[in-house]
Amino acid sequence: MYNQTLRHQEDISLYSNAFGFLRAPLFFEPEKSDADAVVTGIPFDMATSGRPGCRYGAQAIREASVMFAWERRRFPWDFALEDRMKLADCGDLVFPSGDPGAMVEALESHADAVIGAGKRMLSLGGDHFVTLPLLRAHARKYGKLALLHFDAHSDTYKEGSPFDHGTMFARAPKEGLIDPAFSSQIGVRTEYHEEDGFMVIDGPSASELSAKKIARAVEERASGHPVYLSFDIDCLDPAFAPGTGTPVPGGISSAKALEIIRALKGLDIVGADVVEVSPVYDHSGITAIAAAAIALDILYAMAS
Ligand SMILES: [Mn+2]
């Protein structure tokens, strides 16, 4: 079993052996660990409308994350994550395959236990549908949330089955989990409707505006409310993230996404996920590497 010190032993190579996200220790009962933040993989892609395969996403992000584990104080932050946040990885959610309803039940009860123990969650998808049960658990603990949503799609589509990765942000306001009036969507470049009530900084605007300007607009919108950050990797242009189910050309770069996250100051980010990484469509692991960097900067933003 790993412990925190192993990560820093210089004679251990970064890539070998078993490991959690950022080589964090593996705890299969995370609510009993002394970690401040818990990483959970969710190997679920049954709600995908396009190309499947993101059930393998969490494992690919973990594997990519080891490349960032050697940096104690991550560039360009002015503190080291481990000085403010103890991290554990509880592996992947266990649920009966072929039963999306059972996944929802398993994820809600897992998230209730982790959040109930006072820990923050970083969840690695899986398809974007996993955000809905995660929002339910977070709203039970924190009340109505402000959503900060990075995506090529609004995911507010009204049609679809009960398990559809394009419908969560139509359902979440109806269930009272999030308030669009406090919420922002960054990078959308497919059809969306203003009457859904979100502040949308669309793909071209997100490329053109400065990261600071975008971050200030998001903060103003969410001010005073607990924030749930959901990052669909297809927010990035397919040049930076080809390994995803529903890629849409015209997105922001990985550099811009990192700049926006790093510019977020004083947001109370109570939970986050990075979803829709589909390694079967990836090349050279670039999508998983981008997702791992984004996930790590989200943890820094949580801790800042
Ligand atoms: Mn999405």
> What is the pLDDT at residue 160?
76
Separation of alpha carbons 220 and 252, rounded Å:
22
pLDDT of residue 157: 95
Tracing tokens 């998983």 back to the chain, one arrives at 288
* Distance (Å) from CA 142 to ligand 1 centroid: 23
Gap from CA of 150 to ligand 1 centroid (Å): 8
Give phi and psi for 287, each to the nearest 5.
-70, -45
The CA 252 to ligand 1 mean position distance, Å, reads 15
Asked if the peptide bond before residue 197 counts as cis, ω within 30 degrees of 0, the response is: no
Ligand 1 centroid, distance to 37 Cα (angstroms): 23
Over residues 280-296, the mean pLDDT reads 98
CA of residue 48 to ligand 1 center, whole Å: 10
Q: 153: CA distance to ligand 1 center in Å?
A: 6
- How far is the centre of ligand 1, averaged over its atoms, from the C-alpha of 174 (Å)? 18
Q: Please tell me the distance between residue 179's alpha carbon and the centre of ligand 1 in angstroms.
A: 18
* pLDDT tens by residue, 20-41: 999 998 888 888 899 999 999 9
Handedness of CA 260, 262, 263, 265 (dihedral sign): positive
CATH (residue range 35-303): 3.40.800.10
Q: Give the residue from 80, 83, 90 showing the smallest Cα distance to 119.
A: 90
Q: Are 221 and 180 in contact (CB under 8 A)?
A: no
- Is residue 185 pLDDT above 80, yes or no? yes
Distance 5 CA to ligand 1 centre (A): 37
Give the pLDDT confidence score for residue 2 in this predicted structure.
Answer: 45
Span from the CA of 251 to the centroid of ligand 1 (angstroms): 13
What's the CA-to-centroid distance between 79 and ligand 1, angstroms? 31
Lowest-pLDDT choice from 66-70, 125-129, 232-236, 247-251 = 66-70
Q: What is the pLDDT of residue 13?
A: 64
HSE-up of residue 287 (Cα within 13 Å, Cβ side): 31
- Å from CA of 248 to ligand 1 middle: 11
* Å from CA of 249 to ligand 1 middle: 15
CA of 200 to the centre of ligand 1 (A): 14
pLDDT attached to residue 6: 47
pTM summary value: 0.95
Q: How far is the CA of 175 from the centre of ligand 1 (A)?
A: 18
Confidence of residue 218 (pLDDT cuts 50, 70, 90): very high
Q: In the chain, pLDDT over 90 holds for what percent of residues?
A: 88
Which residue has 């509880």 as its token pair? 90
- Going from the Cα of 196 to the center of ligand 1, the distance in angstroms, rounded, reads 16
Residue 3: pLDDT above 50? no
* Mean pLDDT, the chain, whole residue set: 94
